[in-house]
Amino acid sequence: MKKIILSIAMFVTFGTMSAFADSSTVNPKVLAAFNNDFKNTGKVEWTTGMDYFKATFVFNGSYVFAFYSTDGKLLGITRNISSLDLPVSLQRNLKKDYSNYWISDLFELSNGNSTSYYVTLEKAESTIVLKADAGGEWTLYSKAVKE
C-alpha cells in the first residue's frame, strides 16, 4: 500500500501522467467503481498511466483527482489545497522552519485510511518536497538543486 501511495504522490507532484482517455477507453470495472464512489459528478476527464487510471472532476466545488488500479480499486484521492487548509501545527512548522521558501504546490492525499499532505517549496537555488501526515511533522520527501 505504501508503494501505491508513493506512486500517486510522485505522479501528482511531478506530473508524469500519460495520454488523456475518454470514458470508452477506460476499463469498465474502473468506470463502475468510479460511478459508485462519486455519484452525479458531471464531467470527468480520464488519464491513463501504466498501472492506473486517473479521473479529474469537480467535487463539492473543488477539483479532485481519483486514482484507480486497473481492476477498479480506489487507490487514493488528491486535491490541491491552500496553506490555510493545512492543520494549524503544519502551518506553524512551515512558517517557522521554511520561511525562506515559497510554496509552489500543495496537495492533500487521502487513501481511505489516512490523509497526508505534500508541499513543494522553492527558493532561488533549490526545490524541496515535504510530506506530513495529519497531526504529524514535515519530513523531507525529495530535494533538487536548480540549474
Tell me, what's the pLDDT at 32? 94
Q: Is the pLDDT at 20 greater than 80, yes or no? A: no
What is the percentage of the chain residues whose pLDDT exceeds 90? 67
CATH number of the 83-145 domain: 3.10.450
Average pLDDT on 103-114 reads 93
C-alpha cell at 137: 511533522
Say if residue 9 is exposed, middle or buried (CB neighbours under 10 Å; 0-12, 13-18, 19+). buried
Alpha-carbon gap, residue 14 to 23, rounded angstroms: 24
In the chain, domain spans: 2-76, 83-145
Tell me, what's the pLDDT at 14? 45
Average pLDDT on 1-30 reads 59
Q: Is the pLDDT at 145 greater than 50, yes or no? A: yes
Q: Is the pLDDT at 13 greater than 80, yes or no? A: no
Average pLDDT on 103-117 reads 93
CB 118 within 8 A of CB 133: no
Alpha-carbon gap, residue 124 to 27, rounded angstroms: 43
pTM value surpassing 0.85: no
Tell me, what's the pLDDT at 8? 58
CB 31 within 8 A of CB 43: no
pLDDT digits (tens, 9 = 90+) for 49-98: 889 999 999 988 889 999 999 999 999 999 999 999 999 999 999 999 99
